Amino acid sequence: MEIHFKIKQPQHTSLLIVISGPSGIGKDTVVQGLQKRNLPFHFVITATTRQPRENEVPGEDYFFYTKETFEAMIAAGEFLEHAWVYSDYKGVPKVQVREALDSGKDVVMRLDFQGAKTVRELSPDAVLIFLTASNNEEWIQRLKGRRSESEEELALRIQTAKQEYDSLDIFDYIVVNEDGKLERTLDIIEDIITAEHHRVHPRRVQL
């Protein structure tokens, strides 16, 4: 019997994936966990003007710049997005993202809420994932455990998180990053990305 149509397969298009969530929720840990799985992704390195925390490696965890250097890069239009967050600049180098997408790889970015919102506006087809905790107490203890903020800074982060939870509609997915269950979090994120690659109507990222 002759078949007069073509069997279709999933179309591979590069995804722009944003891992976001409130301060202290474990964005860095989740991205580092994905990196250790040796997945075929390009992991974007964020630039910041804050001081490195213990065990953070410049050029691997973040690009650490002075405020003056960062502002010069802003003036030169070198960032895909940037924001003033908790008394420091954060931003994503533009060329890094575009080159990775052009290579056919999925691109994973770790961004705060402001950065995720900007990416949503620039690229409506980006995949935005919001990390959350099991409950308020777990998140507060995780935040305090970093011992990197003053009481005033902690209060600011808590107030900011409330505003972020009130604006979750910009995200596509919400994933619980429970203490002691990192592998489960990573499995869920991998499953999301796999499912996104099997959409009937693929996302088309344009930047």
37 in catalytic set: no
Cα torsion 197, 198, 203, 204: sign = positive
- How far is Cα 70 from Cα 49, in angstroms, rounded to an integer? 7
Cα torsion 189, 132, 173, 85: sign = negative
* Catalytic residue selected from 53, 98, 184, 199: 53
* 204 CB-side CA count, 13 A: 2
Q: What is the DSSP letter of 74?
A: H
* Catalytic residue selected from 37, 146, 184, 204: 146
146 in catalytic set: yes
Task: Work out the number of other CB atoms within 10 angstroms of the CB of residue 93.
Answer: 18
Catalytic center residues: 53, 146, 157
